[in-house]
Chain A
């Protein structure tokens, strides 16, 4: 049965609408971003394209002399280094604890821990800003009752980053816990029964059966969490605007501020490419580590 031209075109009618939108809003923008990162595009260039000047690598060299940008890189590094291990450790712990039981209570706890993950970041950031309020907030009230504090939470450069991390970790546990839980439930019961007969205790079983069986999930969660923390934006944007004294500013927020508040589109695009490069590099390192681990 020979296919007519019409038949050949049918598949494209299914995939084309989505492909066109992805091309227009994801793929093409990458190239535009790369080009404008070599220009001084600003608000005047936006109205009159002849005003746009190519300035070569100037944006990039200037970025590495911009103390605000360097500070945002350091802050983002801090978020990644503290945030990623914390999220993995805590969500894995919760998953293992929940996996202890199958009854209604344990199923309910799964729901409880997942709830922060689906709720709106702006809304929870507003709630946590209130909780972090030095005089009226819930946290200092509670700590005051046991004779601790008051803590400056968001108002002190030394603690503000940690306060944002606490909120983001609280929000991230749920989703990753579900991924770990799905993997835990896929481990064959027979492995544990055999280990039990060999006299292995709970910790030995966890180390030699549970953790190795989870290696792909741990890898998956590490990569996605890493990428997420590199793009840390909503929390500092809503809660601190990057302050106090730039101490919570992230690279993502720096890009937004320069692009949409100062209209330095070229400069911001260059900043976003440095972030992109860092994300790709960190992801590649993770893939390398994963391969090495599997090779052993």
Chain B
């Protein structure tokens, strides 16, 4: 009887596994198709029936990304933007610490104001932010692309949540020893906050690497394009050059997937929204 039950559970697991496997293959199929097609020549791609694997592997599409198209420039801009978004992460961490560990006038209302910005859709602020940047003469500059997305309410919220749980006695002890507030922040709070910094760091990298809307709006000049905007331009200019498009897409997708696989442990644990009891 007990044995029968056990094997029923095992059979159930195998059936569930089979469904997941099938569904998973469908989920991953677009990426496989993208990656393999990026090594096909255009002659092969335009054939009526194609094999899944390239008949003749070629790196030509990748070469053309950098020679015919400006992917080198786009990559440089994207990396600069990503680098600065880490500065933004630091500002978020500072604000999170300020809200978590200091009592000051206006703390409650200010924090609610921060949270309120999460509800504002990007499309509403898109036009006025463009006008503000235009007044500051920052349209068509990298600074104009970087500034609007530098800080974010959700990140501030997560930093505050984490830092609220840091014991006050550590901070008090450091103060008694005469440490300045900034020394405490850099040498005590930041090292303790490694777990949340890891999650935020990865999300910051992904966000910077994928930046699309602001670069699209602010950059008129190709020399300020990011990879996303450049890829979108590439699609418009080489409508049926699918080999080149798939190489461009792979170039954007693969680094993120690699980073994700390396750091998955940190990312996957950051999603508990249900309140702890």
Interface residues of A (CB under 8 A from B): 8, 10-12, 14-15, 17-19, 21-22, 24-30, 32-33, 36, 46, 94, 97-98, 100-101, 105-106, 109-116, 118-124, 126-131, 133, 135-136, 138, 141, 170, 173, 175, 178-179, 181-183, 186, 214, 216-217, 220, 227, 230-231, 233-234, 238, 251-252, 255-256, 259-260, 265, 268-269, 272-273, 275-276, 279-280, 283
Contacts and interface: CB of A to CB of B under 8 A. Distances in A.
Given A46-B131, A120-B256, A30 B147 contact: no
Contacts of B95: 14-15, 17-19
Contacts of A124: 30, 249, 253
Interface string B38-74: 0000000110111000000000000000000000000
Given A101-B13, A186-B272, A127 B124 contact: no
Given A116-B30, A170-B27, A182-B271, 5 more contacts: A18-B114, A119-B31, A121-B228, A126-B245, A130-B33
A11 B50 contact: no
A252 B123 contact: yes
Contacts of A113: 23-24, 27
A256 B13 CA distance: 48
Given A15-B94, A255-B126, A279-B121, A183 B273 contact: yes
A127 B34 contact: yes
Contacts of B31: 115, 119, 127
A25 B33 contact: no
Nearest to B12: A100
A272 B274 contact: no
B23 A94 contact: yes
B264 A100 contact: no
Contacts of A122: 210, 212, 228-229, 231-232, 252
B61 to A, nearest CB: 13
A141 B50 contact: yes
A269 B127 contact: yes
A214 B275 CA distance: 11
A24 B212 contact: no
B151 A127 contact: no
A98 B260 CA distance: 19
Interface in B210-246: 210, 212-213, 217, 227-229, 231-232, 235, 242, 245-246
Consensus secondary structure, chain A interface: helix
Contact of A97 (B20, B114, B126): B20
A36 B242 contact: no
B132 interface: yes
Nearest to A254: B123
Contact of B102 (A10, A119, A138, A269): A10
Contacts of B33: 127, 130-131, 138
A100 B117 CA distance: 38
A25 B124 contact: no
Given A115-B31, A256-B126, A98 B273 contact: no
Q: Which of A97, A120, A217 has the most CB of B within 10 A?
A: A120
Contacts of A46: 131, 134
Q: Which of A21, A126, A186 has the most CB of B within 10 A?
A: A126
B164 interface: no
A33 B275 contact: no
A18 B96 CA distance: 9
Interface string B93-137: 011011100111001001001101101111111111111101000
Contacts of B127: 33, 36, 255, 259, 265, 268-269, 272
A127 B232 CA distance: 11
Given A112-B24, A129-B235, A234-B212, A32 B46 contact: no
Contacts of B116: 27
Contacts of A24: 132
Nearest to B111: A15
Contacts of A130: 33-34, 37, 242, 245-246
B17 interface: yes
